[in-house]
Homo-oligomer: A and B are copies of this chain.
């Protein structure tokens, strides 16, 4: 059989009308807002059900290769496996950002026979949520600059505006800009920069809000900058939280789609886990909890990033807990963590595997630090050899680590049955979930705890700027917020070249940004950037669409 791309496999799938999926999920007709034949938004006002009757499975991973380890694929395949076992299950995922789709990686909707559909529309504009966030973010920027231009009653210091503009595009050219040029009729000149939309505080707010009123109040609490005497200025003082909430009133509704096997899926909100908190919306997770007995959800990148934030930010705000944790590992990522170059990952290499498995070991320990015993999902790739597979399975068994080989890319839900059975067993066993840190620790103490316990580092260096900002954050009364670390996904440290299980390192925090609407403090480490760039030959160069609207090149 010739090797098909994910897009080709998706194109062969027969989709069910979304009304049928909604019925299966128990979503009443009055709560369903169709977007074409295979997508819908769910108006959560019209839903019944109790969130606390449901179990939540969090899918996380070891440190990945640049191609990713198939975490979304495993998440989807695991849900399909639960579906095959006759469980009432829903999957809750993040929605893709257009920037990377046009850049390096194609889609973000699973792969092979474990995908959510329609993959093409989900990967492109979907139901417009990211555009609404871009729009609200940049409308606020325009309102801030207009306020200054029109007389600046709030005494905003244009050198101390922390609110940046955003685009949902990988556009390095916009990282650092000067705006307001062209004389007195065209605004006040100042430095600014653009982030990618998923890094917007509004994305975080949408993903943490419990309803439209909570969303509006959080928008009102955003601190977008400081006055000339260094007092924080909020959106509420500018008086535009109503307009921003209005721009987001459709975006706040979770999106219903289906997996290739007809399992209901909610895809909603999409912060990256390296530069933001990396989880789909709390509203989508809670909606899935209301509707189903088992919710399979993921958090971006490894347990050092998305999972830590899932526990310490999302689950804390949402007052729920993961009932099981799945840790996705691949032979390829293990070998890369053992020092193999990207181009050689297809070759059998047991020595590299042995050297790299310490990375997995650390991620297993990380799950345990939150009081949850993880299940390792060894996600099968065509280049893996039996000797390699057996090495990993044996390694786990010798250490009493639960493990299952998954072949969901090739076989869909069927390839995840063994994993599903192990997860089901775990769901029936109470765990001792706890957050990593208490909120009453100081900001440096919280960061210290994440770095030493989750990353395995020796400690934290704060730049002078960071120290000054911590002082200001505490003075402003935001010291009890949780911390959202911005860090490379490729290493447990802040240096993407330190693979495996690095030790003896410290993390440098160079800047802190208070996201008072989201309710956390972002700590920027290493050279992680909140605006990616495009590669030499972007994916966009291979994309096309024909007269009928059929596309190619998305994968």
In the complex, A250 has a CB within 8 A of chain B:
yes
A534 and B146 form a contact (CB under 8 A):
yes
In the complex, A279 has a CB within 8 A of chain B:
no
Distance, CA A141 to CA B173, complexed state (A): 9
* Per-residue B-contact encoding for A200-222, CB less than 8 Å = 1, 0 else: 00000000000111001000000
In the complex, A434 has a CB within 8 A of chain B:
no
Q: Which chain B positions have C-beta within 8 A of A168?
A: 135
In the complex, A341 has a CB within 8 A of chain B:
no
Distance, CA A98 to CA B138, complexed state (A): 12
Identify which of A31-39, A85-93, A410-418, A439-447 touches chain B: A31-39
Majority secondary structure, A binding face: mixed
Q: Which chain B positions have C-beta within 8 A of A131?
A: 125, 128, 131, 134-135
Interface size of A in residues (CB-CB distance below 8 Å): 76
The 5 closest A-B pairs by CB, nearest first: A242-B544, A176-B182, A131-B131, A173-B187, A243-B540
Q: Which chain B positions have C-beta within 8 A of A132?
A: 125
Q: Which chain B positions have C-beta within 8 A of A185?
A: 172, 533
Which chain A residues numbered 86 to 134 have a C-beta less than 8 Å away from chain B? 98, 102, 121, 124-125, 128, 131-132, 134
A540 and B171 form a contact (CB under 8 A):
no
In the complex, A13 has a CB within 8 A of chain B:
no
In the complex, A175 has a CB within 8 A of chain B:
yes
The CB with the most chain B CB atoms within 10 A, among A151, A185, A213, A549, is that of A549
Distance, CA A534 to CA B149, complexed state (A): 10
In the complex, A79 has a CB within 8 A of chain B:
no
Distance, CA A547 to CA B242, complexed state (A): 11
Partner of A186, one of B36, B150, B172, B240: B172
A143 and B534 form a contact (CB under 8 A):
yes
A-B contact pairs, 19 of them (CB 8 A): A34-B35, A34-B37, A102-B142, A128-B128, A128-B131, A131-B134, A141-B173, A142-B167, A142-B534, A149-B172, A173-B180, A175-B182, A175-B186, A175-B187, A212-B546, A213-B547, A242-B545, A243-B543, A245-B544
With both chains docked as a complex, state the minimum distance between the C-beta of A101 and any C-beta of chain B, in angstroms: 10
Known A139-B540, A143-B538, A543-B242; contact A187-B172, beta-carbon cutoff 8 A: yes
With both chains docked as a complex, state the minimum distance between the C-beta of A240 and any C-beta of chain B, in angstroms: 5
